[in-house]
Amino acid sequence: MPPSQLKQLKSSLRESGVVGPQKSKKQKRQNARTGANANNRVQREAALDAIRDRFNPFEIRTISRNKFDVTTRDGGSKSGPGSFRPGVTKSLGEERRRQTLLQEMDRKNKVGGIMDRRFGENDPSMTPEERAAERFARASQKKLRKDSMFNLEEEGDEGGFQLTHQGESLSFGDGDGVRDDFEEDVDADDMSDSEMSRKRKRVLDAGELGEDELQDEEEVPGRKKSKHEVMQEVIAKSKHYKAQRQMAKEDDDDLREELDKGLPDLFDMLRSVNPPPKPEPPKDDFAAMNPERAAFLQGESQGVTEREYDQRLRQLTFDQRSKPTDRTKTEEEKIEEEAQRLKALEEERIRRMRGEEISEDEAGGVEEEVVELSEDESIPDDAKEFGLQQTTGHTTSRPVGVDDEDDFIIDDLVETRSDASLSFDEEDEDMSDSAEESGEEEDDQEDELINGLTIPGDKSGEASAMLESAQDTADGLAYTYPCPSSHEKFLHIIKDVSYENLPTVIQRIRALHHPRLHSDNKAKLGRFAVILVQHVAYMAEQPDHPPFAILENILRHVHSLAKTHPENVSLAFRAQLREIATGRPLNLRPGDLIILTGIIAIFPTSDHFHAISTPAHLCLARYLGQGPVNTLSDLSTGTYAASLALQYQIVSKRYMPEFINYVLNALCILSPEEPASPLGSFPLRIPTHSLCLNPSKSLNARKLQFWDITGAEHQSEDLKLSLITTLTSLLNTASETWSSKSAYTEVFNQAQAVLHHIFSTLKKDNNNKKILKTTVSTIQSTLSTISTNLKTAHLTRRPLFLHDHKPLAIKTAIPKFEESFNPDKHYDPNRDRAELNRLKADYKREKKGAMRELRKDANFVAREQLREKREKDAEYERKYKRLVAEVQNEEGREANAYERAKRARQGKR
């Protein structure tokens, strides 16, 4: 059984040395001298505190038991065997409530009141001592703060405070040792009480009385000064002193500054380092300076200079920073730059061809760059150069070919103008000649002129024949055209315009609505581009077969518009493709074929994915795969489509099954004899009536014409032979294009078989040998190409080696072991869920805490109310008692009086 509380207390007091054997006097004295007493006292306090805590079972609470022995990384702030001080926390909370909640309670239902502006009055974090110290500091600061050294008012105030005795100021002579009273007071704080009192007494005794009396005695014999005079004197004197003191102080400051300046040198000397050479004083610069500025600096007065300086500085801050200007590039550099640009573009194209994803911004950046480049500078076209032949080219006279769109317009404008050898003035005259031109249109013309003025002066020496012919008839054309908003309107505009003049019209519309001329023009030209696309298809459908030069020119216009309005042009082409796909997928019209040809020129068909090329591919492939093969015009259309398909793939070399199928099928159809057995795994589609070639002497293979696609049944045998030749050469090209494909053998074995078949059937008639020479030689060369490629393919063929991947890790079902697992942490791999859980936990904790606080608040409020009520009751009780006592007193007196009277009466009796 543990000893009793008292015994425990005693023993612990003894152990901690609070109580112990009596110390001898000597020891005490020694302690007092060494200051160990104070130290002891502190120790004793601490020991007592500890003992108190130990004996109060409620003061410190420890966690009674631990379920498991755990060590955690994060210090065990919570989970370790910590101790709490519930009493302390409780009292702290109580205190805080008293400071906040109680105040609120008191202020409740009360209006108005006095604001306590004393410093730190409502700041519970300050101890009263701190508060007092701070207040004092503030007060003294306020006193020390002076607005000006010549502020008489303040001085006057100060003077007002000056103690006087019999009209004399109570100052103590000029000595440095003389202090103002309050100064003395300040000092006195530092001194011990006894010291201060003694000193003051002495000063007061010695100085004050003695000297004053001396002065008085001196001035008595002379005229007695009036009080006003004395006051004046005193003020003057005090001002004088003050000024002197001020001066001395300034001198001291100067001296100190000088010394401070010397300090780094001193340090350097101490470190034995040579001081860096001092910068030359700036005044020496006057010679090298702009003489004007020097004169200005020297001549002008300081104030003016400074003002000037400020002004300039301000100007400079608002000035735009000047940018470094590029120096004019040499021709070689320009060429180099252009080559770099083209190379970058080509690399970009190759990346797209490989289907590598270009990040959006990057692509955009490149695009923008291209546009910028083409807009900003007129760079000569170096396509040829990029073909690695930097030999001739770059004659400064004229950019070779056309590259960017401004160039294009200008180029053509120049061409037409120069060919017509018309100056702009002459054109103006022409215009005024034509009666229908209005003044408004003249303005437009001027606009064009303005645009025309940007044309470089050099004139092109060459121009296409087409444009020449266009110029011949140009006289009948108007110079201004409105920008059409729909294809119908465009048709209306050009209804009297011959095909040859169409490029001129288009060019004029484009020049008149150049985006630089009006902000709306960009949108207008966008629409115009769409119309041009529609018009190309429309024109190709016309029965009178407009010349291809015109179509080409329009397509090139579309291309150059596509650079500035890619979206409009793309959408227009997509609309055309959609029309083909939904309206006539298996019945391609000449217009569709022209559109599909235009796509080659305008869009990169080599892209892995492209919003226009890909559907165009599909359209072609669909026609090739499913289109009719019943007539020669069908076959011609198909052959043209096959040529287009191969052209699409000539760069990217992607494989197109439909192409091979179609070409082989067509060859089988056209061959003089139908093959007895299938020559390959391509599906054989047989026309409704035979289209076999009938070899005869008069046959002549020619180059196919585009318009063969629209029913050219005459000269059919010639056409058949030409088709065979063309298809064969297509196979030749295809064989070259796809020679690196791993299944080349499988694809072109069929082709070889088909060609052999045709070759043998053609050769059967020996007499035709000479006449069919071209065809036979084409077939022969194709066959030889194919067989060479087949040999190569045979040699390079290796078993596939596709799965040379790094082996995949086997998925394990063993849970992942967490190093230093902490159950308080959540190891949720799902970020969102973890976040959510954390938020939930936070919310729960906060809610609990808030509820606890509220509950405590309510308790507190109830307690306070009870206390108030008790107080009120007690007050009432006191009052009541007092009143009762008073009454009793009075009544007692009356009773006494009565008693007395009674006794007296009795006594009388």
Partner 1 sequence: MPAITNKSVSSKKRKSTKAGGVPSSKRRAVAENESAESMVRIQQLEEQIAESRKHYNNIATLISMLGEDGQGINPNLPVAVSLCRVFSRLIAGGNLAEPDRAAENEKIVVAWLKERCREYQRILVSIMRQSDASSQITALTLAMRLLNERATHIPGDDTQAWTSGLFRSIFEAVVEARDGQTLRSEFLEKFVKPHEDVTYYTFMQLAEYAATARSTEILETLVTLLSACDSVPSADHEFESFYSKASKQNKKLLSVNSHKKRAQDAWLAVLRNNLAQPLRKTLLRIMVHHIEPWFARPEFLMDFLTDSYNVGGATSLLALSGLFYLIQEKNLDYPQFYTKLYSLLDADLLHSKHRSRFLRLLNTFLASTHLPATLVASFIKRLSRLALNAPPTAIVAIVPFMYNLFKSHPTCTYMLHRVVPDKKQKELEAEGMDDPFDPNEPNPDRTGAIESSLWEIDTLQSHYHPNVASIARIISEQFTKMSYNVEDFLDYTYQGMLQAELGLEEKPLKKIPVVEYQIPKRIFTDRLLEEDGGVDTAPGSLVRALWDFS
Residues 613-632 that bind partner 1 (CB under 8 A): 614-615, 617-619, 621-622, 625-626
> Least distance from C-beta 336 to partner 1, angstroms?
18
Q: Is 648 in the site for partner 1 (CB under 8 A)?
A: yes
> Least distance from C-beta 552 to partner 1, angstroms?
4
DSSP symbol at 766: G
> Least distance from C-beta 659 to partner 1, angstroms?
9
Binding residue (CB under 8 A) for partner 1 from 454, 587, 681, 788? 681
Binding to partner 1 (CB under 8 A) within 340-359 occurs at: 342, 345, 349, 352, 355
- Cα 315 to chain centroid distance, Å, stands at 31
CB atoms under 10 Å from CB of 903, counted, come to 11
> Least distance from C-beta 718 to partner 1, angstroms?
13
Q: Which of the stretches 102-110, 263-271, 318-326, 551-559 binds partner 1 when contact is defined by CB under 8 A?
A: 551-559
Binding mask 212-251 for partner 1 (x = CB under 8 A): ----------------------------------------
Binding to partner 1 (CB under 8 A) within 651-680 occurs at: 653-658, 660-661, 678, 680
Binding residue (CB under 8 A) for partner 1 from 15, 332, 567, 877? 567
Q: Is 409 in the site for partner 1 (CB under 8 A)?
A: no
Which C-beta is closer to partner 1: that of 412 or that of 447?
A: 412
Which C-beta is closer to partner 1: that of 297 or that of 719?
A: 719
Ramachandran bin of 763, using left for φ above 0, alpha for ψ from -120 to 50, beta for the remaining angles: alpha
Binding residue (CB under 8 A) for partner 1 from 804, 818, 824, 832? 804
> Least distance from C-beta 505 to partner 1, angstroms?
19
Return the half-sphere exposure (C-beta side, CA atoms, 13 A cut-off) of residue 767.
4
> Least distance from C-beta 694 to partner 1, angstroms?
23
Selection from 79, 56, 60, 83 nearest residue 69 by Cα: 79
Binding residue (CB under 8 A) for partner 1 from 562, 595, 668, 772? 562
Amino acid at 522: K
Which C-beta is closer to partner 1: that of 6 or that of 388?
A: 388
SS3 category, 692: coil
Q: Is 799 in the site for partner 1 (CB under 8 A)?
A: yes
DSSP symbol at 64: -
Q: Is 460 in the site for partner 1 (CB under 8 A)?
A: no
Buried b (16+ CB within 10 A) or exposed e, 191-202: eeeeebeeeeee
Which C-beta is closer to partner 1: that of 419 or that of 447?
A: 419
Q: Phi/psi at 821 (nearest 5 deg)?
A: -70, 135
CB atoms under 10 Å from CB of 257, counted, come to 10
C-alpha to C-alpha distance for 419 and 468, rounded to whole angstroms: 7
Which C-beta is closer to partner 1: that of 471 or that of 643?
A: 643
Which C-beta is closer to partner 1: that of 640 or that of 860?
A: 640
Binding to partner 1 (CB under 8 A) within 283-342 occurs at: 342
Which C-beta is closer to partner 1: that of 297 or that of 536?
A: 536
- For residue 62, what are the β-bridge partners? 83
Cβ atoms of 512 and 440 within 8 Å: the answer is: no
SS3 category, 342: helix
Q: Is 401 in the site for partner 1 (CB under 8 A)?
A: yes
Between 405-420 and 548-564, two packed helices, what is the crossing angle to 10 degrees? 140
Q: Is 597 in the site for partner 1 (CB under 8 A)?
A: yes
Distances (CA, A) of 9 to 1, 158, 321: 16, 63, 84
C-alpha to C-alpha distance for 909 and 173, rounded to whole angstroms: 91
Buried b (16+ CB within 10 A) or exposed e, 876-902: eeeeeeeeeeeeeeeeeeeeeeeeeee
Binding mask 735-774 for partner 1 (x = CB under 8 A): ------xxxxxxx--x------------------------
Return the half-sphere exposure (C-beta side, CA atoms, 13 A cut-off) of residue 877.
6
Return the half-sphere exposure (C-beta side, CA atoms, 13 A cut-off) of residue 394.
17
Residue 286 burial (C-beta neighbours within 10 Å; 0-12, 13-18, 19+): middle
Ramachandran bin of 60, using left for φ above 0, alpha for ψ from -120 to 50, beta for the remaining angles: beta
Q: Is 703 in the site for partner 1 (CB under 8 A)?
A: yes
Binding residue (CB under 8 A) for partner 1 from 451, 501, 637, 643? 643
* Residue written as token pair 């302690």: 31
C-alpha to C-alpha distance for 537 and 252, rounded to whole angstroms: 98
> Least distance from C-beta 435 to partner 1, angstroms?
37
Q: Which of the stretches 95-103, 433-441, 573-581, 881-889 binds partner 1 when contact is defined by CB under 8 A?
A: 573-581
Which C-beta is closer to partner 1: that of 98 or that of 334?
A: 334
Q: 604: which 2 tokens?
A: 């990169």
Binding residue (CB under 8 A) for partner 1 from 196, 203, 684, 861? 684
C-alpha to C-alpha distance for 821 and 806, rounded to whole angstroms: 32
Q: With contacts defined by CB under 8 A, how many residues of the chain interact with partner 1?
A: 119
Q: Which of the stretches 251-259, 607-615, 842-850, 898-906 binds partner 1 when contact is defined by CB under 8 A?
A: 607-615
Which C-beta is closer to partner 1: that of 198 or that of 578?
A: 578
Q: Is 728 in the site for partner 1 (CB under 8 A)?
A: no
Binding residue (CB under 8 A) for partner 1 from 471, 501, 560, 789? 560
Q: Which of the stretches 58-66, 217-225, 320-328, 461-469 binds partner 1 when contact is defined by CB under 8 A?
A: 461-469
Q: Is 604 in the site for partner 1 (CB under 8 A)?
A: yes
Which C-beta is closer to partner 1: that of 408 or that of 860?
A: 408
Binding residue (CB under 8 A) for partner 1 from 548, 589, 631, 774? 548
Q: 823: which 2 tokens?
A: 């159950």
C-alpha to C-alpha distance for 643 and 729, rounded to whole angstroms: 10
- For residue 139, what are the β-bridge partners? none
> Least distance from C-beta 679 to partner 1, angstroms?
10
Binding to partner 1 (CB under 8 A) within 464-523 occurs at: 464, 466
Q: Is 420 in the site for partner 1 (CB under 8 A)?
A: no
Cβ atoms of 380 and 334 within 8 Å: the answer is: yes
Residue 229 burial (C-beta neighbours within 10 Å; 0-12, 13-18, 19+): exposed
Q: Which of the stretches 240-248, 421-429, 449-457, 797-805 binds partner 1 when contact is defined by CB under 8 A?
A: 797-805
Q: Is 608 in the site for partner 1 (CB under 8 A)?
A: yes
> Least distance from C-beta 692 to partner 1, angstroms?
21
Selection from 231, 100, 252 nearest residue 167 by Cα: 231
Which C-beta is closer to partner 1: that of 271 or that of 703?
A: 703
Which C-beta is closer to partner 1: that of 6 or that of 809?
A: 809
- Cα 322 to chain centroid distance, Å, stands at 26
C-alpha to C-alpha distance for 736 and 747, rounded to whole angstroms: 13
Binding residue (CB under 8 A) for partner 1 from 420, 569, 635, 666? 569
Distances (CA, A) of 316 to 158, 293, 304, 308, 310: 49, 17, 18, 12, 10
* Residue 109: partners with Cβ closer than 8 Å, 6 or more residues away: none
Which C-beta is closer to partner 1: that of 770 or that of 803?
A: 803
Q: Which of the stretches 255-263, 480-488, 792-800, 842-850 binds partner 1 when contact is defined by CB under 8 A?
A: 792-800
Q: Is 204 in the site for partner 1 (CB under 8 A)?
A: no
> Least distance from C-beta 829 to partner 1, angstroms?
20
What does R_g of the chain's alpha carbons equal in angstroms? Answer: 56
Binding residue (CB under 8 A) for partner 1 from 235, 289, 339, 363? 363
C-alpha to C-alpha distance for 173 and 170, rounded to whole angstroms: 9
Q: Is 379 in the site for partner 1 (CB under 8 A)?
A: no
